Structure 1
Amino acid sequence: MTLEPGSVAIIQLAWARRLGLDDDAFAAAAGDRIIHADDTARTVQFIRLFGNSALVGPQWALDAAAGLPDGELAQHGTLLTLTRDHSGHGLGASALFFADDLPLRQPSGELTVSQGSPEAVELEAFCPPDDVNEVSLSDLEHRFTIMHMEDGRRTPVACGAYTEWEGILAQMGVLVAPQWRRRGLGSLAASVAAHEALASGLTLQWRADVSNKGSLALARSLGFTAGGIQTSVLLG
C-alpha cells in the first residue's frame, strides 16, 4: 500500500525526535546528510529515511565517517570498522517499513486473543533465542497473543505487539511458535496489533534485520512500504 503524503513527514518527525535532532531536520535536509554529534552516545547510528540520511554519534565517529558515501555507512561492517578502537559491536542493519493503513485480516474461525503478559512470556519460551531477542516482546507494551484451545488448555501460538515511539509511531513486532509457522498466524497476529495501533491514531513501523527473509517477506505481504534502513553499533 502507498503512504499518504503527510505520513512521510510524520515518520520523519518521529525519527528526528528519536535521534535528538530538530523537528524539521529530515524535511530540511534536501538530500544532504544530517550530522549530529553526541559525545555521550553509547551507539553510532546511520539512518536512511525516504531519501535523506542522518549519522548520529560521538564526534570522533563522525570524523571517521567523513567522506564515506551513504551506501557504505548503511553496511554494518563499515560501522564496525569505524568503531573498532572503541569496542564497537553489533546491533546490525535493519530495513524500515511503514504503513498508515492495512487490509484487515479475518480469521477463518473463532479467535481467542489474550492481552496478558504471562501468555507472551510463555510463547517466548517456545521460540529460539535469536527470534526472541530480535522481536523483544518485553519491550513492546501492547501485546495481542493468539491462543490455541485444545482439551480445555490454552496455548499461546503467536503474538503481535507494538509500543509507541514519540506518541507518533507504533513500533511493531511479531513472534510465532516454530511448530505453528507457515499457517498465516503471524499475519493474523500482526493484523490484530496493527489495527489496534491504527485505531489509536499511530502510524505503523516495522523493523526487520536485513538478513531475516521471513520478517522482510511478512512486512511486504501485510502491505507495509519500504522507507529506509537503520544501521547501528553499540560502543564498549
Structure 2
Amino acid sequence: MWTNALVPRARRLWEELARVPVSFPPPGGVKVVVSPRSGLCPVGWVGVVALGGSAIATAPSESAAAIVRDAWGQLPVSAVANGELVRRVPSVGQTLGPATLSYVSPAGFRPVSSGTVVMEQLPSAHPDLRILERAAGPEDADEAALGEIMSPAFVLRDHGQVVAAAGYCVWPGRTAQVGVLTAPEARGRGLARVTGSAAVAHALSAGLLPQWRARPAASRRVAAALGFEELGSQLSFEVAAATA
C-alpha cells in the first residue's frame, strides 16, 4: 500500500490551505480551529477535511467553532465529513459536498493510452474549451474548472469538436488538482480516462502529487481506474450562528 506515503503529503496541502497553524491530530481525532480566511471552504463557512483517520476543521469565528465542537461531540472521524449527518444538526444551513479526496503515486499510477486517437494540447483560454464547458453545463464545468488550469489542456476531438479535456491547477504543497470534463454525448466511451491519464502523467513528470477531488460516482470510478486511492473527504457547510 502507498497510503502511508501519500497521506502526509496530502495533509500538508490542507494544513497550508487552513491559513492558520494547524496539524492533523492522531488517528481518531478532530482539530477545530478559527480561520476566517480558510481555503477549506467558502468565506464564512465551516470547512472539514478528513484524511488518514483524523480530521481538521476551520470555522469563521469562535462562536461557530464552539457550535461545531458541541455538535460533533463524540462522533467518529468518519462522521464529521458525512453530509447527511451534518445536515441533521439544527444550526447547519447549506452544505457543499462531501467530495472524495483521492491521490496517486508514480508506482500506483495506471496510465490509459489514447490508442489511435490523436491527443492535442490546448491553452486553458482556448475558445474550444469554452464550447465544451457550455455543452457540459455550468455544474460540471465549475467542477472541472478548466479555465483555471495551469497545465496544458489535454483534449480529444470528435468531428472537429473537443469532446473531452483534462488538466490541472498547481495547489500548495506541490499538489496537482486534476480537472476532467466530457461532453454529455461523448460520455461512457472512456474518454475521461484517456484525457485524465495524460494530465496525471504530466503532473507526475513534474514531481507533483496528483489530487482527484470528486463527488459524482462516475468521476470516482475514473480516478480508481487510473490508480488513485481514496484517502479522505472534504465538506463545507454554513453555521447559522457563525455571524452572530
Instruction: Give 1:218's aligned residue.
Output: 222
Q: Percent same amino acid among aligned pairs? A: 24
* Partner in structure 2 of residue 60 of structure 1: 63
Query: Could you list the runs of 5+ residues in structure 1 that have no partner in the other structure?
Result: none
Aligned equivalents of 1:4 and 1:48: distance in 2? 14
- Partner residue in 2 for 1:129: 138
Aligned residues of 2:117 and 2:156 also touching (Cα < 8 A)? no
> Corresponding residue for 1:199?
205
Equivalence map 1:104-183=2 (5 Å): 104-116=111-123, 117=125, 118-148=127-157, 150=159, 154-183=160-189
Task: Show structure 1 runs of 4+ deviating over 3 A.
Answer: 28-31, 77-85
Q: Distance in 2 between matches of 1:68 and 1:99?
A: 32
Runs of at least 5 residues in structure 2 that lack an aligned partner in the other structure: 38-42
CA distance in 2: counterparts of 1:50 and 1:4, whole angstroms: 8
Query: What is the alpha-carbon distance in structure 1 between the residues aligned to residue 139 and residue 192 of structure 2?
Result: 17
Map 1:61-100 onto structure 2 (within 5 A): 61-66=64-69, 67-69=73-75, 70-80=77-87, 84=91, 88-100=93-105
Match of 2:40 in 1: none
Cα gap change, 1:33/1:122 in structure 2, threshold over 3 Å: closer, same or farther?
A: same
Q: Match of 1:100, as an amino acid?
A: S
Whole-angstrom distance in 2 between the partners of 1:164 and 1:83: 37
Contact 2:157-2:163 within 8 A present in 1 as well:
yes
Distance of 2:138 and 2:74 partners within structure 1: 35
The 8 Å contact of residues 123 and 156 in structure 1, kept in 2 or not, is answered as yes
TM-score by length of 1: 0.85
2:16 corresponds to: 17
- For these two proteins, the number of residue pairs brought into alignment is 226
TM-score, with structure 2 as normaliser: 0.82
Residue of structure 1 equivalent to 2:45: 43
RMSD: 2.4
